[in-house]
Every structure is written in C-alpha cells, then in structure tokens.
C-alpha cells in the first residue's frame, strides 16, 4: 500500500475508496497496534495470520480460530502454575502465571513458551498499549510497565485518590481504569496518558466497576456492566 494510490483516478472520484486507503496507510504506519483491527482489515485465505480468540483455564491456554469455529489447545508449559492474565503484544501471546505472591511473564513464540520476566505480586489487570505491557497492581497501588524487547521495567504510582482497580480499557491515547468505590452504584474512573504517563481524575461512572468489560468499534468506545446489563458509550 503506497500513497501513490491516492493519485489513481478511480480513488479520486470515490470518497469511500479514499477513506479505505487512508485507514490502511495509517494502520501500516502505526507500529504499536496490539488489539483492535480496523473495519477493513478482513481475513484473507492467502494470509498467514488468522483472527483468533484466546482464553486460559488453570495452566492450559486455548485459541479459537474464528473463521473455522475450531478450538486448538496451546502446548503446556511446565512452569505455568495458574495462568491469570493474557495479552497480545506485536502479534505474540503473553501470559502471566501466578503462584501465591509471585508471578512469571511468558511469551508464546515459534510454537513454544519463553520466559520473559519475573514479576512481584499477583492478581493483576493487564493491558498492552504503545511500547509496553501495563500490569496494574491494585494491592501495591502501582502499575508495572514491561517493555518486552528489550526487556525493560519501570513503575508508575497510583494517584492518591485511586484505589481498588477492577478493569481497564484502551481508550484513544490513554488507558482508562475503572475502580470500585464505597457505593455499588458508581465507579471511579482515572485516565493514564500514554506514553507521557500523566494521570487525570475523570470523575465517576454510574454502576459498579466489577465485571466491567470494555469494547470498541471504528469510532466508539463502550463498556458493558453486569449491574446495568446495557452498553454505555464513553
């Protein structure tokens, strides 16, 4: 895909074609996309990549090949005690395996598991964004930032008013973190700007932060709360 496609007479006459090319070029130029694919990034049978869903149960990871509706078990790793978190970073699967108060970060690459780093603590919220995997540690009130290649670590302290993080959402150029409060009727919301790592108190969201799930499409960011059973636009 090149910018020369804009000069083609068919593209110049068709606004939708021009939009597709613009999104394709923007996607190709963005080096750090770990989750959402744009609407036009459709699967092609000739491509080596597949759209998959990944989940873990105890020490076993499994992948669902979406276009085939077929589950595949990933090889087990002898060092996995209990897989607690999954995250995709640069088309590779990273998992955190936790035992008591100690955790290990692994990557699945070239059909095998490789150890990446040791992480103190357990019970995390994990999200990949930009150049880092962000490991949100509610017990120690900090975020551990892991840059996988090369493996580098840094830490970000929570704001004084931020407590009890329950879930997180990749939101534009920031990470939204939803926290429990004394009331089950509302959640506290904080924003961490990436990569500057500046905090913003975003106020409150109606409904509980527990079991909250973040979703998005081309233009909208949404959350689904069990307490409301409705989608809320952010």
83 falls in which pLDDT band (50, 70, 90)? very high
- H or E stretch covering 26: helix 15-29
d(CA 224, CA 227): 9
Of 62-71, 87-96, 152-161, least confident by mean pLDDT is 62-71
d(CA 38, CA 36): 7
d(CA 129, CA 120): 21
Give the distance, in angstroms, between the CA of residue 180 and the centroid of all CA atoms in the same chain. 20
Domain 42-157 belongs to what topology?
Neuraminidase (2.120.10)
Give the distance, in angstroms, between the CA of residue 6 and the centroid of all CA atoms in the same chain. 32
d(CA 175, CA 64): 27
- Mean pLDDT computed over 9-21: 75
Q: Is pLDDT larger for residue 46 or for residue 105? A: 105
Q: What does each C-alpha distance from 157 to 40, 162, 173, 190, 220 come to in angstroms?
A: 38, 10, 19, 13, 29
Give percent above pLDDT 90 in the chain: 46
Q: What does each C-alpha distance from 230 to 38, 202, 219, 223 come to in angstroms?
A: 24, 21, 19, 8
Q: Is pLDDT larger for residue 198 or for residue 225? A: 198
d(CA 174, CA 221): 12
Contact between 187 and 166 (Cβ < 8 Å): yes
pLDDT at 21: 77
Residue with tokens 């949100």: 136
CB-based burial label for 210 (10 Å; 0-12, 13-18, 19+): middle
Q: What are the tens digits of pLDDT across the range 37-47?
A: 666 666 666 66
67 φ/ψ sector (left φ>0, alpha ψ -120 to 50, else beta):
alpha
Q: What are the tens digits of pLDDT across the range 181-214?
A: 988 789 999 999 999 999 999 999 998 898 888 8
Q: Is pLDDT larger for residue 99 or for residue 54? A: 54
Q: Is the pLDDT of residue 2 over 80?
A: no
- Mean pLDDT computed over 76-89: 88
Of 134-148, 172-186, 189-203, least confident by mean pLDDT is 172-186
Residues in contact with 9: Cβ distance below 8 Å, sequence separation at least 6, in sequence order: none
Residues in contact with 70: Cβ distance below 8 Å, sequence separation at least 6, in sequence order: 64
- Mean pLDDT computed over 117-145: 94
Q: What are the tens digits of pLDDT across the range 110-129?
A: 889 999 999 999 899 999 99
Contact between 103 and 122 (Cβ < 8 Å): yes
Best CATH choice for the domain 159-234 from the list 1.20.950, 1.10.357, 2.60.220, 2.40.10:
2.40.10
Q: Is pLDDT larger for residue 234 or for residue 49? A: 234
Sequence spans of domains, the chain = 1-30, 42-157, 159-234
Of 149, 123, 156, nearest to 138 (Cα)? 123
């Amino acid at each position: 895909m090149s910018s020369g496609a804009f000069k083609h007479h068919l593209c110049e006459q068709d606004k939708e074609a021009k939009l597709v090319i613009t999104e394709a070029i923007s996607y190709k130029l963005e080096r750090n996309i770990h989750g959402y694919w744009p609407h036009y990034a459709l699967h092609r049978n000739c491509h080596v990549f597949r759209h998959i869903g990944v989940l873990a149960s105890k020490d076993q990871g499994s992948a669902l090949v979406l276009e085939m509706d077929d589950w595949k078990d990933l090889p087990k790793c002898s060092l996995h005690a209990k897989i607690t978190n999954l995250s995709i970073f640069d088309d590779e699967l990273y998992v955190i395996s936790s035992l008591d108060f100690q955790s290990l970060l692994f990557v699945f690459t070239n059909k095998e598991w490789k150890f990446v780093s040791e992480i103190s603590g357990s019970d995390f919220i994990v999200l990949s964004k930009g150049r880092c995997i962000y490991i949100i540690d509610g017990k120690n009130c900090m975020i551990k930032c892991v840059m996988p290649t090369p493996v580098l670590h840094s830490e970000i302290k929570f704001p004084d008013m931020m407590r009890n993080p329950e879930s997180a959402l990749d939101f534009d150029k920031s990470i939204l973190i939803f926290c429990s409060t004394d009331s089950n009727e509302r959640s506290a919301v904080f924003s961490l700007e990436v990569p500057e790592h500046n905090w913003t108190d975003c106020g409150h969201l109606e409904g509980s932060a527990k079991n909250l799930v973040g979703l998005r499409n081309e233009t909208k960011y949404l959350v689904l709360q069990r307490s409301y059973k409705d989608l809320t636009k952010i």
